[in-house]
Structure formats: C-alpha cells, structure tokens
Structure 1
Amino acid sequence: MAKIDIRAVSKAYGGHAPVLTDIDLSIADGEFIVLVGPSGCGKSTLLRMIAGLEAITAGTVAIDGRVVNDVAPKARDIAMVFQSYALYPHMTVADNMTYALRLRRTPKDAIADKLRGASAKLGLDAFLGRKPKALSGGQRQRVAMGRAIVRAPKAFLFDEPLSNLDARLREQMRAEIRKLHAGLGATSIYVTHDQVEAMTLADRIVAMHGGIIQQVGSPLELYDRPANLFVAGFIGSPGMNFLPGTWDAEARAVRLADGAAIPLGRAAPLAQGAPVTLGIRPEHMALAPAGLPATLDLVEPTGHGIILHLGVQDQSLRLLTHDRANLTPAASLYLSLPPAHLHLFGADGARID
C-alpha cells in the first residue's frame, strides 16, 4: 500500500481563476480518505491529478516518497474506479477484470488466482461469463471495483462511483466498499458530493469549497466542531440552522434582530456588539412550553423522524423531531436551544470557541 503526500498543489487553466489553491494533505498508508464538497469545488480535479490524468500547475504529489508529477498514470501503480464504470461492452466480466493483467503478460495461473479472490470478495462468481449489458448497475460497479482489485495497486481512487445508482443500491454499495476496504487495508481516496457517503465511509473527511480545503478530520470532528459556516452547513442531514445576531458580552448571549437573547453559556473573545452567527443542528433543537417564538410552515414526515420547517424572525430553520403530534402549518410554538449544542461563528464565518 502507499502513503500519499500532496504539497502546495494548485491547478489553473490558462488565464482563468485557479481551480485548486495550495492544497496540502498527507494520506497515511491504508487510510480511507473522502474528498467531499459541492460540484465545482475541485475534488475530482485533485483526484485526477493524483492519478496523473491532469497536469499539476504548481506543487508536488508524492507516492511512497517518490514525486510523481511527471510520471505517466500507468507507472504510478494506482487504480481508479470511475462513475461511468468504463467497462468494455464486448468483453465478459472475467475478461474486463483481468484485462490489465493480460496486457502485462501476467502468467495465466496468477491471473486465475487474482480473479478468483476478487470475484469471491465482490460476489461476482455467478456473473464471470456475462457481458456488461446483462448486468445491473450495482453489478457493473462491482466489476469496475474488481478490475481495480486484481491489479493489487498501491492506492485506489474512487471518483463518485455510486452516483448512477438508486438510493437503496447506493446504501448497499457503501457497505460493500467499506467492508472491502477493511479486508484489503488499501490506501483509498474517494470523491463524493454526498455528505452521507462521506460520513459513513471515511476515516477522515477532507471538506472542500472553492478549490480550498476547509477542514480535515474524522467524520464526528467535522460534525461536532465544524471549522466554519460552510462545513457546518454542508455536513449533517438536514444541515445546520443559522441565526444572525450580535454578541452581548455581559450576558454571554447572542442578540437577535428583535433583541431576544440566546444564552451561549460561555464567554467568547469578541467585542460588545460584534456581528456573529449562531448555529444549531436540527436534531439538537426541541419544542418547549416557552422559549424562542417560531411559526410552523411545513411538516415533512420521513419515517425515521419528522422535519419541521420553521420561521424565526425572517429566518428559515428546520427541527428534527420524533414526536408525531398533529402539527399544522402556521401554528405558533416555542423552541428550546440548549447552550451545550450551540455553535458560534464570527463575521468571517470562522468558528469561535
């Protein structure tokens, strides 16, 4: 397996604004890293630069201590799994999975051993003689992963491999990919815009926005202590609620537009009246007999819970509850915002501890 070091990497096309800016990231041997962010944030471009499919404008990429900026993709000893599967339609599953080995003139008995091992891991034994058109989307994706596994590369790169699958199949494939990684112990870099995939798969998440790394940490680190407003709003489902206000140092509270005070329960290194944003996750708010007044605009039953869309001083908030009480839009109610679950962000969007 491999350790991957990315140092001061940037990418720009012609005279346009940079797609990536000063990316620094170290990936440990055997680690499962997930690059997550909205479309256009540069995560797939970074993956393709590691693979050698995109030229690096500035900085270095090193695999096991060897700088590979000018090394051809086939010589980097990595395997990439694409969103589009990229299977040869005229070849059987077995031939698709072993094509790279046959190009290398690998001995037939070694090819057979590698095929058996990968096929068993992925549950493809019954499909080895079929062609891709006779497979479901999930089976095709497993073939694409099998093709990568038989090569025994130093690292696996996944570029949104589940995007073409339906929700139930994505859930199944997430579990299969995580089990596969646990069994192989392979260094893996996985790109997705789906924060649920990121939370369930990653050892560490790299949250990206605007071509810049916003935060790197374990899934729960990003959930519990988001570094800024972007990470706070992107990680979590539903995303975090935000209320703008000003800091009241004496009361250790955030003052909302109408003067209502939301106690933070702790001091903050801010001047009196400094603009701030208060954050709280939908699952951490609660309905209460008294508290912050709100109006109920919409009720969304999801089965595992109920999402209430609320209006608070011209702001839209969401509350996740398991209470199936009969609530109707336009009803007035009150919210409890426990200080232990409140997040505070400054005017620049950065977290304030």
Structure 2
Amino acid sequence: MAPQRRAGGRAPEAGGGVGGAEERRRRPSRGFCFVLFSSGVKGTAPKDSRRKWLKVAFLLSSAMLGYLLSGSYFLSEDGVTEVLAHHGESLPDRFIEIPCSEDYDSHKRFEGTCLLQLIIAERGLSLGGSDGGASILDLHSGALSLGKHFVNMYRYFGDKVHDIFTEEDFQLYRDVRQRIQQKIALAFGISSSSMYLTKPTFFSRINSSEAKTTHDEYWHPHIDKVTYGSFDYTSLLYLSDYTEDFGGGRFVFMDEGANRTVEPRAGRVSFFTSGSENLHHVEKVQWGTRYAITISFTCNPDHGIGDPVLT
C-alpha cells in the first residue's frame, strides 16, 4: 500500500539538508508522527517519492472512505478500533500521519535477516532470562535479565560470551540498524546523518509467566520520550508471529477515543515518533513467546551511542 495520511500538515521534502549543529539538533517534523512498514523490499529509495505520495494519497483517501463506510472501523470487543497491520498481511510501505506533540522543544520483513536475528536473541537470552514474563538483552551495555535482576553479561560471563556470539552476529545487527535508520530518514524527510542511535536498544522476549518485579510489567501505557528521555524515533523489528508463535502481545496505539493495533509478524518493522502523540502499550502475552528488537534514535548527538562491539 501507499502512504496514508491521517491529519496534520505536509511532510518536509525527502532528503532535506543538514547544515550545522543547529540543523542536526532540529526536532522531528510536525506531520509524519507514526510510520509503519514491512521490510520485504531491499531496493533503494524512490527518486520521485513526493510525486508518488501525492498520487497515492488520493487513492488511499478513496480506499479509507470505503473502509469507514464498511463498518469495520468501529470499536471491537477487545477495545481496538482499527487494526493497522493484520498478522496475515504482507505489507509494503504504509504511512499514517498525525500531528506531532510539543515534546521535542528541548532539542536544538527483513526477509534474509529476521531468522538470524531471532537466533541471536535466543542464544543471548539463553545465558539468563527473567523469572517473570519479560526478558531483555542489550548488546550495547551488556544488560541481561537474570532472575529478578540485571547483570552485565560481558563482565558476568566473561569469555563465555564469545562462545555465544560472533563478530558476524554484531555485523548483522549493525546492518539491520542502518537499514531501519535510512528508512526512517526517508519517511520523515530528514538526513540519516542527523539521526543518532540512542540507548537503550534491546532484544526482548515476552511470555505468559507471572510478573515477579516491576520490570516484568511491560503492559502499562507509556510514552517512550517520558520513559527514556533521549528517544525521538522508536522502531520495532518483530521476530515472531502473532497467533502462530504467541497469543496476545499486540502493539496498541492509544489515541483519544480509539485504539489502533499492530499485529506482530516476523520481519515486520514499525516505527514512530517517540513523544506523547504516540501513547502506547503492549498487550499481555497469553501463550507462547514473543520476540522483538527495539532500536531507537535521537536527533541530539549528545545522546548518541555507537554500534555494539563484541568485547
């Protein structure tokens, strides 16, 4: 499907210039504050994207009118008004435009890789795991869930880490990060060089086990910029399939008067601006295991981090 616009003004020109420090620190543009895409395409960015978007905006507005009239838009029994991405759909780029909040004023299916990323997550989390339902692995800091606590796996396990990971694993992670970063930059009309990887960035594994600590209670509504501070853009790469590998666990955007959900599918990527315009939560996983990677970016170089390295 083509870009879909839900409100707000025109997005800035793709590939906008990045001139000195002031430009590098600029806040995300008002407009494209939620973007969802499925990573089946490995090609380069379209050269005539603006003309294409104008065309598809009209086509999609007609499709949306039919969708609204069909009655499928109205609130369902589980509280979700609209499913933005069904599990069974194989999506090319899809965009939803909403007005940005004022949270930025302080700032002056990857088809060939998804399975490998899942293997990295499974191997890394085999070193530990939470006693509750939510476990994380951060390759940058080394943070790993272990029982009711976190440890630095590089210090805690020492040389054993080299039996779990290879340099090729870390290179794959860097390649995926770069592709997501370029895709976000294209969608929001900014230069990828004005975006900086920021922490925390992590693999997550969620199952139906009862929460043991507050860290296991992943289902509460939250705003990423409030929770993490440095986030300007949040992305998630899903590594397992809703209804096939797990039940529950959908990603839910909480808009006024309406909830909209993304159903995870292995290889699907969703990304969005991290401010209060995108309040969200993850449903409790009812059965099975949900894997994903969270990779986030900042516009402030002071909050940037480098890619993880195998130490």
Q: Could you state the TM-score of these two structures normalised by the residue count of structure 2? A: 0.26
Structure having the higher strand fraction is: 1
Q: Which has the larger radius of gyration?
A: 1
